[in-house]
A and B are shown apart, each in its own frame.
Chain A
Amino acid sequence: MIPTKEEWMKALNDRHGIGFQKKISLATVAICGLGGLGSNIAIALARLGIGKLILIDFDKVDITNLHRQQYKANQIGMRKTEALQDNLKEINPYIVTEIHNVYLNENNAMSVLSDADIVCEAFDNPECKAMLTNFVLEKMCEKYIVAASGMAGLDSANLIKTRKISKRFYLCGDEVSDIKDGIGLLSPRVMLCAAHQAHTVLRIIAEEWKEGNENEQ
């Protein structure tokens, strides 16, 4: 039995408190890349009752994704945007999503990211990571960027951390473990990094949007 929207919101308000839940429900978060990081960030934020998710990926679900990304065997071949949207709605039937089946670049980022308050960089390619980070910090001066670097391999989980680089720029990961070195990406360590990113989004929401200025969002 699917709960009504009122039942759903009451459960979230009971858990998070009405004031904090209101802030969470007003936030729009863009997730750039729906792989091991992005699919896990999306699920965490959907469970929190985030206001809206903008989901961006050009790719389709492949059998080689299933060892760490939040898709299912019967979704192989689907667009990641649509598959993830389906999975999020199974968890939170009232989640609001906007999907973009594009390869994000400097030409389309301005329009695709326009509604976002916070941008999560969740690509795997380091040049794309740097492009998006530079783009948001240079061109979108009212937005936050939560980026990730270094989550491959079997090094300690405790090396995954979050650093506030500057007011609008947070970096999660161990900053050194490259996918090209050694064993590659393993589900738990990627989930740790994704959890750091989702948690940072939540902390930005909690700290930044004080009582009284909700109307500005």
Chain B
Amino acid sequence: MGGRHSLLLEVILVVRINGEDVDIGGKTVAEYLDFAGYDLKRVAVEVNGEIVPKSQYANTVFKDGDSVEVVSFVGGG
């Protein structure tokens, strides 16, 4: 009968990043980009279709079900 209890303890926050489900709910954008090895000067990040200003990377926290696009530019033009 402890089902509800254990459910609360095992909250998995899934965020969809560039088309793949990733369990990184609760991390900030800055923490995720650092963890994934992105160069902050080369990226643009959108959450649910809205740009995240670079000044907000450190205090924007991913929420369950967020749809995220991280565009990392390569050189050439």
Contact = CB atoms under 8 A, between A and B. Distances in A.
Are the chains A and B members of one assembly?
A: yes
A150 interface: yes
B35 to A, nearest CB: 19
Interface residues of B, number: 18
Interface in A102-132: 122-127, 129-130
A74 interface: no
Given A133-B44, A133-B71, A185 B53 contact: no
Interface stretch (A16-24, A34-42, A76-84, A87-95): A34-42
Given A137-B51, A138-B51, A138-B53, A125 B75 contact: yes
B71 A178 contact: no
Given A137-B44, A166-B50, A126 B74 contact: yes
Contact of A126 (B46, B51, B69, B73): B73
A104 B3 CA distance: 58
Contacts of A38: 77
A151 to B, nearest CB: 6
A197 B65 CA distance: 31
Interface in A129-171: 129-130, 133-134, 137-138, 147-152, 165-167, 169, 171
A175 interface: yes
B76 A150 contact: yes
Contacts of B43: 130
Given A138-B51, A138-B53, A130 B73 contact: yes
B5 interface: no
Contacts of B69: 165-166
A150 B44 contact: no
Contacts of B71: 130, 133, 147, 149, 165, 171, 175
Interface centre among B43, B44, B77 (most CB of A within 10 A): B77
Interface of A: 33, 35-38, 122-127, 129-130, 133-134, 137-138, 147-152, 165-167, 169, 171, 175-180, 184-185, 190
Given A130-B41, A137-B44, A175-B74, 16 more contacts: A35-B77, A122-B77, A126-B41, A126-B42, A127-B73, A129-B42, A130-B43, A130-B44, A133-B71, A137-B46, A149-B72, A152-B74, A152-B75, A166-B51, A179-B75, A179-B76
A-B pairs with the 5 shortest C-beta distances?
A179-B76, A124-B77, A137-B51, A178-B74, A126-B73
